[in-house]
Amino acid sequence: MNVSLLLVILLAGALITYFSSEKIARQVALFVSLVAFVATGVLLSQFQSGASVDVMAQWISNPNISFYLKADGLSLALALLTSAVTPLVIFSSFGNSFENKRTLYALILFMAFAMTGTFLAADGFLYYIFWELSLIPIYFIGLLWGNGDAELRKRTMVRFFIYTFAGSLFMLVAFIFLYQKAGSFLLEDLYVVKLTSSEQFWVFLAFFLAYAIKIPIVPFHSWQADTYQANPALGTMLLSGVMLKMALFSLIRWQIPIAPDAAAEYKNFFIVLSIIGVIYGSILALRQDNLKKLLAYSSLAHVGLIAAGTYTLTLDGFRGAVLQMLAHGFVIVGLFFAAEIIERRFGTQKISEMGGIRSQAVWFASVFMILTVASVGLPGTFNFVGEFTLLYSLSQINIWYAIIGGTTIILGAFYMLRMFQQTMLGETNTKLFADIKIQEKVVFVIIVAVLILFGLYPKCLNDLIVPALEETLKYVN
Give yes or no: residues 286 and 162 share one domain.
no
Please compute the mean of the pLDDT values over residues 87-113 and round it to a whole number.
Answer: 92
Domain assignment of residue 85, yes or no: yes
pLDDT score of 433 more than 80: no
Give yes or no: residues 25 and 134 share one domain.
yes
Q: Which residues pair with 290 in a beta bridge?
A: 350
What integer pLDDT is reported at residue 55 of this predicted model? Answer: 87
Give yes or no: residues 240 and 313 share one domain.
no
Domain assignment of residue 29, yes or no: yes
Give yes or no: residues 417 and 296 share one domain.
yes
Q: Which residues pair with 55 in a beta bridge?
A: 69
Count CA within 13 A, CB hemisphere, residue 175.
22
Please compute the mean of the pLDDT values over residues 41-68 and round it to a whole number.
Answer: 84
Please compute the mean of the pLDDT values over residues 54-68 and round it to a whole number.
Answer: 86
What integer pLDDT is reported at residue 15 of this predicted model? Answer: 96
pLDDT score of 188 more than 70: yes
What are the CA-CA distances from residue 396 to residues 31, 39, 391 (Å)?
46, 39, 9
What integer pLDDT is reported at residue 272 of this predicted model? Answer: 94
What integer pLDDT is reported at residue 474 of this predicted model? Answer: 92
Please compute the mean of the pLDDT values over residues 439-458 and round it to a whole number.
Answer: 94
Domain assignment of residue 97, yes or no: yes
What integer pLDDT is reported at residue 52 of this predicted model? Answer: 62
Render 72-93 in DSSP notation, one character per residue.
-HHHHHHHHHHHHHHHHHHHHG
| Closest C-alpha to 34, from 92, 76, 96, 83 | 83
Domain assignment of residue 175, yes or no: no
Please compute the mean of the pLDDT values over residues 58-68 and round it to a whole number.
Answer: 87
pLDDT score of 192 more than 80: yes
Give yes or no: residues 317 and 455 share one domain.
yes
Residue 9 belongs to domain spanning? 1-166+222-246
- Specify the amino acid at residue 225: A
Give yes or no: residues 305 and 377 share one domain.
yes
Domain assignment of residue 20, yes or no: yes
What integer pLDDT is reported at residue 189 of this predicted model? Answer: 93
| 3-class DSSP assignment, residue 430 | coil
What integer pLDDT is reported at residue 323 of this predicted model? Answer: 97
What integer pLDDT is reported at residue 320 of this predicted model? Answer: 96
What integer pLDDT is reported at residue 146 of this predicted model? Answer: 84
Q: How far is CA 22 from the centre of its chain?
A: 29
What integer pLDDT is reported at residue 439 of this predicted model? Answer: 87
| 3-class DSSP assignment, residue 233 | helix
Domain assignment of residue 193, yes or no: no
Give yes or no: residues 339 and 242 share one domain.
no
Contacts 24+ apart (CB under 8 A), 461-464: 461/77, 461/323, 461/326, 462/319, 462/323, 464/44, 464/48, 464/73, 464/76, 464/77
Give yes or no: residues 420 and 278 share one domain.
yes
> What is d(CA 80, CA 310) in angstroms, rounded to the nearest whole number?
20
Mean pLDDT of the chain: 91
Q: How confident is the model at residue 51 (pLDDT cuts 50, 70, 90)?
A: low
Q: What pTM was computed for the model?
A: 0.94
What integer pLDDT is reported at residue 473 of this predicted model? Answer: 93
Q: How is residue 290 annotated by DSSP?
A: B
Percentage with pLDDT > 90 across the chain: 67
Exposed / middle / buried, residue 152 (Cβ in 10 Å: 0-12, 13-18, 19+): middle
Per-residue pLDDT tens over the stretch 106-136: 999 999 999 999 999 999 999 999 999 999 9
Q: How confident is the model at residue 471 (pLDDT cuts 50, 70, 90)?
A: very high
What integer pLDDT is reported at residue 226 of this predicted model? Answer: 85
Give yes or no: residues 8 and 73 share one domain.
yes
218-227, 324-333, 414-423: least confidently modelled range: 218-227
Percentage with pLDDT > 70 across the chain: 99
Per-residue pLDDT tens over the stretch 134-161: 999 999 999 999 887 778 888 889 999 9
Per-residue pLDDT tens over the stretch 335-378: 999 999 998 888 888 888 888 888 888 899 999 999 999 998 89
Domain count, the chain: 2
Per-residue pLDDT tens over the stretch 322-338: 999 999 999 999 999 99
Give yes or no: residues 241 and 275 share one domain.
no
Domain assignment of residue 240, yes or no: yes
| 3-class DSSP assignment, residue 59 | strand
Question: Which residues have CB under 8 Å from 165's CB, separation 6+?
Answer: 132, 135
| Closest C-alpha to 4, from 58, 59, 68, 47 | 68
Give yes or no: residues 233 and 327 share one domain.
no
Give yes or no: residues 349 and 238 share one domain.
no
Domain assignment of residue 423, yes or no: yes
| Closest C-alpha to 118, from 99, 135, 142, 138 | 135
Longest dimension (CA), the chain: 69
What integer pLDDT is reported at residue 126 of this predicted model? Answer: 96
